Chain A
Amino acid sequence: MSTTENDPVPAAPLLSVDHLVVEYPSKKFRAKPFRALTDINITIGRGETLGLVGESGSGKTTLGRAVLGLAPVTGGKIIFEGKDISHATRRQRRTLSRDLQVVFQDPYTSLNPALEIGAILAEPLGVQGMEQTAAKKRVKELLDQVGLPSDAIHRLPREFSGGQRQRVAIARALALSPKLIVCDEPVSALDLSTQARVLDLFLQIQKDTGVSYLFVSHDLDVVRHISHRVAVMYHGEIVEQGPADVVTRDPEHPYTQRLLLASPVPDPDRQEQRRADRHRLLEIQRHQKEQAGAVA
């Protein structure tokens, strides 16, 4: 259905985003549009997880939505398997949805409250023209894969807890065995122990299916745990990216340094140490800023 059907070069990354710019038109007449993303460059390889971390309003969610075609691409390119998808039509998206899926943050609004779990999971299968009996079988497999009882098919989302709903959302994303799943804060609405089990599930699925993740989160600990590489966003730009271990332990950018030391550790004495480190860092950064101001 898509225009170019050429095979991707094996070495090429699964997804690459080049100089992406996203702008939202302003509501006011003739006002400058709001620039949500500026010059974003990322790549994700097959079976790889790129963690995207940043504070609220930094544009990390917008980047995920742009990849999914839910945010307006003003400049730059999004290339998925060698094809430019930055302005894909709905028809191309339908083909694309086999390979590109999403898990949203809020498990309470990402499932239609009026549809049974079975219908929710069968939806992407139906779009691809799968037969009903085959779809039913696949739904059972999916429920099994995410650790939900098979009698969930005929129940409504409201009968499930947050963690279980998120499992349903993950099952929906897995339905078509995609190559890339955009995960937009998928564990931040969950309890600690639930979060741990859902993260386990994400890792297990990656191990079993070789899927890639674009994993958006505000929590550096979560991103460190699940990612191969990490990109840090700040005010609509990527300020730092690299191997997870490096970025989350020995960051270069001042913001990442602040972020790292801001997240508290569960031990009073180590936390006191970290607190002191943080205050020292803030002092140094303020100093540097003043000096930079004096020079300029």
Chain B
Amino acid sequence: MSDSVETAAVAAPAPGTSTQPAPTHTGQSGTVVRSTVLRRLFKNPLGIVAMAILLVISLLAVLAPVLAPFEENYSNIAKTLAAPDSVNILGTDSAGRDVWSRLLFGAQLTLLSALLCAGVAIAIGLPAGLIAGYYAGKFEAVSNWVVSILMSLPGLIVLLTIRAAFGPSVWISMIAFGILISPSYFRLTRTAVQSVRNELYVDAARVSGLSDWSIIARHIFSVVRAPIIIQTAAIAGVAIAIQSGLEFLGLGDPSKATWGVMLSEGFKNVYLTPTLLFWPALAMALTIGGLVLLGNAIRDALEDGEKIKHRKKKATLEGSTAAPAAARPSRKSVAAVDAGTEHHLVKVTNLGVGYPQADGSIKKVVDDVSFHVDRGEILGIVGESGSGKSQTAFSILGLLPDNARIVAGSIQFDGNYTVAPGEELVSQARLSKLRGRRISYIPQEPMSNLDPAFTIGYQLVTPMVRVLGIAKEEARKRALKLLTDVGITNPERTFNAYPHEVSGGMAQRVLIAGAISCEPDLVIADEPTTALDVTVQADVLDLLRELQQRLNIGVILVTHNFGVVADLCDRVAVMQNGRLVEEGSVRDILRNPKEPYTRTLLASMLEGKTPMSMLVSRQKEPVA
């Protein structure tokens, strides 16, 4: 997540090798919670209840021959439809058979048939899915055909036909149902395998010479294991329902006790002894319910990360009502900014941004950061990942995640507070009037910031129509002019193109065109050239410089590249671990850095270094 550990190692000018501190420390990435899925399952009351139910039912089924007072088909003609008594604790049915005994033997058969069905489905679906997903090609094409045919068959009718052909056997009908239901495993497995087939770690295993089977067993099977378990819980439930359904219709083997047969028997006598219907129905409800709940509990256990997030949010609210709110009363009217600072386009004063943690503390990602940007000026914010540079930019834009809090300081834009001192959230009401109109944004990944479903023209025109209130035709003309301005040779074609039809450099030009379309005063560019090729980067930098000078806008350029800084910026702020380490004019910082951290960063630049020389180890002596 972050390189905080690495960064810490750089910052400390410890001599010797580059041994890292033991990553037990809770840096930007926080503590890592690791527990087994099983342990999490046992912490979930739902999981415990479900497992307890299933365990009890399985035990009863296994011990049926011992526990049952009678044979499953032993009938006492003298005592039919009897009420419960000390001999027949649940009463007897219309043939005088003991309900309790039949329920126990029925559990045996019902559970086994469910297992058989799931087993058959897995035995067919899982290997087929693994092979189809991993190798693709002909096998996949053929198996997709077979699967489509299987899925188009009307299941119940097939089962009835099989019953007619092979007689009333639970096992045969469950095998057939297993085959019918195997496509669900096939599809699940194939999709999961496809998603990891091209992962680099699979490539690495291939390079190591692992055979395909070992790769599937070691690297690919682990991806499908969890969904298969969840699926099996559901399938077993369905199998019980289907099997009982068939027998309820009277298609089962009358010589065997199953819950379905008992249900059928109970239904015939529903007016005489309604409880006959109740017991098998209860057993089925408990078993199927247990299976479904178990499936849910396993899913919850596997998605533990989600839960921590929820808790975090709750803690956020508690934390926010407790300490800071009391200390800093919120005001309806926004205070005026300090006199003498109105002329700055943006002024950030002692800004702190934090994320409340589960234990009630607040993890600060931006701490005591102050800087300002004037019109026509480019400020570079430089830092490594986890330095808080993007968080700072996002707090000016008002695009911080919901659970982020402004824990200190203020932000003012053109003489008005967007975040007044004492406020702990960015006021969306104030910022939405500014965003797009006066403050705009150029993102890092050009491709993921254009909607693939709309043409580039549409995505440029719509904001202009909305924000500037101009007619569509007028906006179209402007968009074409903007595209020409950003150096696109055939603007008409780009205007009508979808994002996937243009290159990355072109997409970034389009986003820059979008950013300046509403004539903003401030542009915040977050690593605008990082995803681009070096030659394209040079073109985009030229474009940014030319536009900035022509329109006299203020720019905040977030980057990690000192070359880009040297190319564009007037002033630089260096950030590390959420703090502003050093700020000054670009020449001062790049030529005479005061802070050791800035020096370390600059020393890591490769430009001008003797090839094949050690970079960090060499530079360690002169520090201190």
Contacts and interface: CB of A to CB of B under 8 A. Distances in A.
B201 A193 contact: no
A123 B565 contact: no
Contacts of A101: 207
Given A162-B3, A191-B6, A221-B607, A147 B17 contact: yes
Contacts of B615: 196-197, 199-200, 225
Interface residues of B, number: 74
A209 interface: no
B207 A221 contact: no
A263 B534 contact: yes
A39 interface: no
Interface string A149-174: 10100001011111110000100100
Category for how many chain A residues contact B? 35 or more
A10 interface: no
A149 B205 CA distance: 24
Contacts of B32: 158-159
A114 to B, nearest CB: 5
Contacts of B561: 192, 264
B617 interface: yes
B616 interface: yes
B3 A221 contact: no
Interface SS, B side: helix
Interface in B28-46: 29, 32, 34
Interface in B525-559: 533-538, 541-542
B153 interface: no
A104 interface: yes
Contact of A97 (B208, B385, B606): B208
Contacts of B200: 104-106, 109-110
B605 A192 contact: yes
Nearest to A169: B204
Contacts of A268: 566-567, 586-587, 590
B534 A265 contact: no
Contact of A161 (B4, B219, B600): B4
B616 A193 contact: yes
Interface of B: 1-7, 10, 17-20, 22-23, 29, 32, 34, 199-201, 203-212, 214, 218-219, 222-223, 384-385, 504, 533-538, 541-542, 560-567, 586-587, 590-591, 600-609, 611-612, 614-617
19 contacts: A102-B204, A112-B219, A147-B18, A158-B32, A162-B6, A194-B6, A197-B18, A200-B615, A200-B616, A203-B614, A218-B534, A220-B534, A225-B609, A263-B534, A264-B538, A266-B562, A268-B587, A268-B590, A271-B563
Interface of A: 55-56, 65, 68-70, 90-91, 93-97, 100-102, 104-106, 109-112, 114-115, 123-124, 127, 147-149, 151, 156, 158-164, 169, 172, 190-197, 199-200, 203-204, 218-222, 224-227, 244-245, 258-259, 261-271, 275, 278
